[in-house]
């Protein structure tokens, strides 16, 4: 069984000028222990997907339809108390800025032990031992002393290590990490991503890793979902999506990765911009930018369909027998 299943998720923002549909029919699953990357340009819907899963959509944003299931149980229709308990115990969250997860007024040890005591049946002394071990495992030197320090006494990278420890404190089965290294110094980003990968793999925790960086996806993930304009453009094993992309948008993203071996003057960028939510074109949302667009792309919206070893929402992969609708 999937650990997490997202089925036909629609997230909307009702407003005075009508309702904006920010996520439109998103479906994917995450297996136990798997690392799923979620990638796409800014505004593609990555953070909203994560927020919907952890129950932190900001009103008036709401799940308008679809389902989110954790170990087979629906979690999209729980009240805020129920969702808070799931967030602590069964889903850990890591955000771009470590300070959003840490309380500046409490030592990191207090925050870790409170989380452990709230969710696991251990004594206060055991909780402290576990907290020290977690800090050690996340690479905090002199953890037994550092546990009594406050968040501001840690560097940015060390702070994000503390956040990873905190997210893992209640031994969740799933970690949702939204751009966990984007705010950090470039020189330490790879270390933190490697830590996140290794520590989650060793504990059997699955990860939904949201990033705009295909390089991070390539090095870290088992599978990847490529989002475009609030929809899944392509999803599949990371090796296949990267080496043999089936959706023209994925190909465009891949071409935009800087290739250190080649001395390029500037990065290849995909021409044009992602459409605004109130101006998503009919048919395929990617059609204004797509170099391979043809008649049907202007008319019919493509659903995910088998495309080589991945699945892509692109009419190039429609079975030959399918009639083109007029
Ligand atoms: N509070 C909000 N009100 C209206 N639209 C929003 C709100 N939050 C996000 N959106 C829209 O939803 C889309 C997806 O946002 P987001 O998930 O944050 O993208 P990203 O992939 O960069 O994380 C964006 O087009 C954004 O404008
Ligand atoms: S459906 Fe058409 S426009 Fe959309 S990505 Fe495929 S070829 Fe391009
Ligand atoms: Mg985001």
| Nearest atom, ligand 1, residue 58 CA | 1
87-90: Cβ within 8 A, 24+ apart: 87/54, 87/55, 87/56, 88/115, 88/118, 88/119, 88/170, 89/119, 89/170, 89/172, 90/170, 90/172, 90/173, 90/174
Q: Could you tell me the distance, in angstroms and rounded to a whole number, from the CA of residue 57 to the centre of ligand 3?
A: 12
Ligand 2 pocket test, pick from 290, 301, 311, 312 with the greatest ligand atom count within 8 Å of Cβ, gives 290
**pLDDT tens by residue, 67-113:** 999 999 999 999 999 999 999 899 999 999 999 999 999 999 999 99
Instruction: Give the pLDDT confidence of 150-189 residue by residue, as tens digits.
Output: 999 999 999 999 999 999 999 999 999 999 999 999 999 9
pTM for this prediction: 0.94
The pLDDT of residue 254: 85
Q: Mutation test of ligand 1: which of 16, 20, 22 has the most ligand atoms closer than 8 Å to its C-beta?
A: 22
Q: Is the CB of 47 under 6 A from ligand 1?
A: yes
Least distant ligand from the CA of 250: 2
Whether residue 244 has pLDDT greater than 80:
yes
Which domains are assigned to the chain?
4-228 (3.40.50.300), 231-259+276-317 (no CATH)
The CB of 245 under 6 Å from ligand 2? The reply is no
pLDDT score of 271: 85
Residue 241 tokens read as 């999506």
pLDDT band for position 315 (50/70/90)? Answer: very high
Q: What is the pLDDT of residue 266?
A: 46
């Amino acid at each position: 069984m999937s650990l997490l299943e997202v089925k036909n998720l629609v997230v909307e923002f009702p407003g005075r000028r009508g309702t904006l549909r920010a996520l439109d029919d998103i479906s994917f699953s995450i297996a136990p222990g798997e690392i799923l990357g979620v990638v796409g340009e800014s505004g593609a819907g990555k953070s909203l997907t994560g927020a919907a899963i952890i129950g932190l959509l900001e009103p008036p944003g709401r799940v308008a339809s679809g389902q989110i299931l954790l170990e087979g149980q629906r979690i999209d229709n729980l009240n805020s108390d129920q969702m808070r308990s799931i967030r602590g115990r069964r889903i850990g969250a890591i955000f771009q800025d470590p300070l959003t997860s840490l309380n500046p007024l409490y030592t990191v040890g207090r925050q870790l032990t409170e989380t452990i005591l709230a969710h696991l049946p251990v004594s206060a002394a055991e909780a402290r031992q576990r907290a020290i071990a977690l800090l050690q495992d996340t690479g905090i030197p002199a953890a037994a002393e550092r546990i009594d320090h406050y968040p501001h006494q840690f560097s940015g990278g060390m702070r994000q290590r503390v956040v990873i420890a905190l997210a893992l404190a209640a031994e969740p089965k799933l970690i949702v990490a939204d751009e966990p290294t984007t705010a950090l110094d470039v020189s330490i980003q790879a270390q933190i991503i490697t830590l996140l990968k290794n520590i989650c793999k060793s504990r059997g925790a699955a990860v939904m890793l949201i990033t705009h960086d295909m390089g991070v996806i390539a090095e870290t993930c088992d599978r990847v979902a490529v989002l475009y304009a609030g929809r899944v453009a392509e999803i599949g094993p990371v090796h296949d999506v990267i080496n043999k992309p089936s959706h023209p948008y994925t190909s465009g993203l891949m071409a935009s990765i800087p290739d250190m071996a080649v001395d390029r003057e500037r990065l290849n960028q995909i021409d044009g911009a992602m459409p605004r939510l109130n101006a998503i074109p009919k048919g395929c949302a990617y059609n204004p930018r797509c170099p391979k667009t043809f008649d049907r792309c202007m008319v019919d919206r493509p659903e995910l369909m088998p495309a080589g070893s991945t699945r892509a929402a692109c009419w190039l992969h429609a079975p030959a027998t399918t009639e083109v609708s007029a």
